[in-house]
Structure 1
Amino acid sequence: MPTRLAALGAAVLFAVSGCSGPADEAATIVTPSAPAEDLAELPAASAGGACILWDYDFIEQTIGIRFAVAAADQIEDTSTCVVQTMSAAWPDLALSVVETTTANATIFLDTRMPAKATKLTGLGRAGYRVNAKASGGHGPTVEIGWLSEAKQLQTLRFTFAKDATAADVKGMNTKLLELAKALSTTNG
């Protein structure tokens, strides 16, 4: 995330300062070779996990926002990916994929769909969308979850920056659904 570069810089600073001996009393100053904006952008897929399913251009073409950093994780059969811009913690976009499930559409809607969610049609075997109000330091969220034709549980969540408007959220509902349809896995 944006703090990744700061953490890397701190690690380098600690490593360099730890290497100086008592005879070297001068302070060591570490300067980056290039500003963060000039660093090469690694593909989102290079983060692994669910990030292998998309790239920054694909996301930008679908929802209209350019992300530049990605982080992923995998625990047992669940892969995740979060992408962010370089300039702020929000907006961010998260994808979670559970490799396989025995749930059918009825079970998915009864057990996985949040209470205030809206059922979606035309997305996998069953799907929902839920919008949540701003909380903490971020703006509202749009979440779409679905049971894919390949019997995977997939969830997309877009978190806005604090200054998002109701019109922004309404527009993202449509855009995020298009992204979910593009990501939805099939049997074939």
Structure 2
Amino acid sequence: MSLSISFVGDGLTAGGSWAEWFPEYDVTNLGLSGNTTTELVSGLDAMIASAPDVIVILAGTNDLGWRKSDEYVVRNLETILYRLRRALPATRILIQSVFPRHPDFALTIRSINRHIRQYAATQHALYLDLWPVLALANGEIDPQFSSDQLHLTDEGYQVWLDQLRPALEVLFAGSPTTSSIPIQHA
């Protein structure tokens, strides 16, 4: 029986070919274009009912499009992690950093990512920081990875996948842990 992975999030997650990229696992893509953290909180019961072996979360960027504060996004992400951990104590959870966008969002995104990195450990979730491989020095998403400062190009998905694959290997190698996953720099 293969292990199950649920990819949860917004259009960035929805756009991924996760089942194709991870054929060795039973993959469910629960990403939905336009999803905010509020929609993810509302959908937690269904996610919990499916009880996957691993949940991979990417959320928060759409909240910024609605001008939600970093505190709002952090509170929702913390709620998601807390409720998942409480309901699914044996499920491995990987939460990923909010991706860079336009430089105007950089300070808010960095604040969200800093808080979630710290909180993830308290819920025995791993944190995968993709900011270093996707962002330019000014906090903008690297144009080679996005043509509109939000959605990913094929190259953007490849960079994400190159970081995600080893992170999942670490996640599957042991029991749920409290440490974050270091990024391999080329």
| Bucket of the pairwise TM-score, normalised by the shorter protein | 0.3 to 0.5
Higher helix share: 2
The normalised TM-score by structure 2 is 0.33
Rg larger in 1 or in 2? 1
Q: Return the TM-score normalized by structure 1.
A: 0.33
Q: Would you tell me which structure has more strand in proportion to its own residues?
A: 1
